[in-house]
Amino acid sequence: MIFFGKARSANKVQHLISLCRALLSERGEVSGGRLASEVIAAYQSLGAQAVQDFFDRLVTEFSPDPGAVQAAAKAYLEKPSEGHLAQLQAAADPPRQELFRRWNMAPGGIGVLIQMRRTLLGTLKAHPERVHLDSDLLHLFRSWFNRGFLILRRIDWGTPAVILERLIEYEAVHQIQGWRDLRRRLEADRRCYAFFHPALPDEPLIFIEAALTRGMTSDVKPLIDPQSPVADPGAADTAMFYSITNCQEGLRGVSFGNSLIKQVVEDLGREFRRLRTFATLSPIPGFRVWLVATDPQWDSLDPASASQAKRRELTALCARYLLQAKREKEPLDAVERFHLANGASLERVNWMADPSPAGVKRSFGFMTNYVYRLDDVEKNHEAYAREYRVVASRGIERLAAR
């Protein structure tokens, strides 16, 4: 019985491989749409093990032919002409790239490819040989999800439920507790924007949540409290970005966040002429691990009952972590790297900004404000890109210097 199952599964993989070959052949050009649909249906009918087998065969059978690459490499070395270069490129080009392009001829093809890569990513550790298969998919996605093709849409209570449901599902930074919570996050004093791709109209790729406030917020609670009163957006002078979420694990490595923030800052600035400050209230994911590794006694600290002195000490250490803890030349903190590379500056460290158990566990409840000043974004970015300079406020620098 089990044996039979394996045999059927092997048959299914074999069938799928044959369809893939047909799709890649010349016949694929005319019957592309139909063949691609069959390929996709065949792939989707595979069990978990069969998917693994299919990945293996994509690696072994749809990679460049080593013999052909060697021949082309030799020819090029003998005579490095344009013609030989073209032959070398063609020989080195993995057939599966073209294969995946043709999958996309079927309706929904692109969604299936994203799901497939998501599955693939989970197997890379155990199967390092699949890293090139992964690169091929990533290469395609970078080309297809190019900024020029993306559509920025505002998300509000008039957005289709099918999309809102995804937001509830995907939000990773501050979980959305059902429809009521979501509704609060879409009220008049909030803004939510997402990037979409035209071929995936119901699938947000990334979304950002902002609150329109008076002054820069140092405490996450009012931002995510479903019961908080709705403020007058016309009176706001600050846009607080309190959450940014990548939705498609299968698109890991295609970066959207930077474009999204820049676009939203521009749009909000146009809509609300009184907005002066665009700031985040961001987690500090690496602080606790770093601190405890430095000095294990901190592990037992409960910030809720910490003394004033401890609090001051810890705040200085947090500033030091942000300014001085490095991974090679870059800051150790991943969120910090993201915002600095986008051109933000480090503005403020906030004690007990996220007093939830998760917040305490992550960083003793600390959160940071990064600020996007339109006039400085480019300059900051370049300083960071050139020399990994961390642009920070005087306050933080003083704290770290204590």
Write out the binding residues for a second copy, residues 173-192 only, by CB under 8 A: 178-179, 183
Q: Of 50-58, 76-84, 114-122, 359-367, which part binds a second copy (CB under 8 A)? A: 76-84
Q: Of 85-93, 114-122, 169-177, 305-313, which part binds a second copy (CB under 8 A)? A: 85-93
Distance CA 186, CA 157 (A): 6
Q: Name which of residues 274 to 333 contact a second copy (CB under 8 A).
A: none
Nearer of residues 105 and 317 to a second copy, judged by Cβ: 105
The footprint of a second copy on this chain (CB under 8 A) covers a number of residues equal to 71
Q: Is position 109 an interface residue for a second copy (rule: CB under 8 A)?
A: yes
Q: Is position 165 an interface residue for a second copy (rule: CB under 8 A)?
A: yes
Among the listed residues 76, 241, 256, 278, the single contact to a second copy using CB under 8 A: 76
Q: What would the two tokens of residue 163 be?
A: 């999309």
Q: Name which of residues 185 to 224 contact a second copy (CB under 8 A).
A: 198-199, 202
84 touches 93 (CB < 8 A) = no
DSSP-derived secondary structure letter, 253: T
Q: Name which of residues 41 to 70 contact a second copy (CB under 8 A).
A: 63-64, 66, 69-70
Distance CA 156, CA 369 (A): 25
Q: Is position 230 an interface residue for a second copy (rule: CB under 8 A)?
A: no
Distance CA 72, CA 86 (A): 9
Q: Is position 253 an interface residue for a second copy (rule: CB under 8 A)?
A: no
Q: What would the two tokens of residue 195 be?
A: 């990037």
Q: Measured from the CB of residue 318, what is the shortest distance to a second copy in angstroms?
A: 26
Pattern 117-156, a second copy, x by CB under 8 A: ------------x-xx--x----x-xxx-xxxx-x-----
Q: Measured from the CB of residue 332, what is the shortest distance to a second copy in angstroms?
A: 20
Q: Measured from the CB of residue 135, what is the shortest distance to a second copy in angstroms?
A: 7
Q: Is position 159 an interface residue for a second copy (rule: CB under 8 A)?
A: yes
How far apart, in Å, are the Cα atoms of 121 and each of 60, 159, 249? Answer: 18, 31, 9
**Residue 12's CB: how many other CB atoms inside 10 A?**
18
Nearer of residues 295 and 375 to a second copy, judged by Cβ: 375
Residue 277 bridge partners (DSSP): 238
Distance CA 322, CA 291 (A): 11
Q: Measured from the CB of residue 206, what is the shortest distance to a second copy in angstroms?
A: 15
Cβ burial of 243 (10 Å; 0-12, 13-18, 19+) is buried
Q: Measured from the CB of residue 16, what is the shortest distance to a second copy in angstroms?
A: 19
What is the rounded (10 degree) CA torsion for 190, 196, 202, 207?
Answer: -30
Among the listed residues 7, 10, 85, 289, the single contact to a second copy using CB under 8 A: 85
How far apart, in Å, are the Cα atoms of 14 and each of 39, 60, 217, 306, 397? Answer: 12, 14, 58, 64, 62
Q: Is position 226 an interface residue for a second copy (rule: CB under 8 A)?
A: no
Nearer of residues 51 and 106 to a second copy, judged by Cβ: 106
Nearer of residues 164 and 318 to a second copy, judged by Cβ: 164
Q: Measured from the CB of residue 4, what is the shortest distance to a second copy in angstroms?
A: 29
Nearer of residues 11 and 81 to a second copy, judged by Cβ: 81
Q: Of 114-122, 295-303, 374-382, 387-395, which part binds a second copy (CB under 8 A)? A: 374-382
Nearer of residues 132 and 252 to a second copy, judged by Cβ: 132
Chain CA centroid to CA 227, Å: 30
Q: Name which of residues 322 to 341 contact a second copy (CB under 8 A).
A: 341
377 touches 243 (CB < 8 A) = no
Region of 325 (left: φ > 0; alpha: ψ -120 to 50; beta: rest) is beta
Cβ neighbors of 11 (< 8 A, separation 6 or more) are none
Straight-line distance from the first to the last Cα atom of the chain, in angstroms, rounded to the nearest whole number = 71
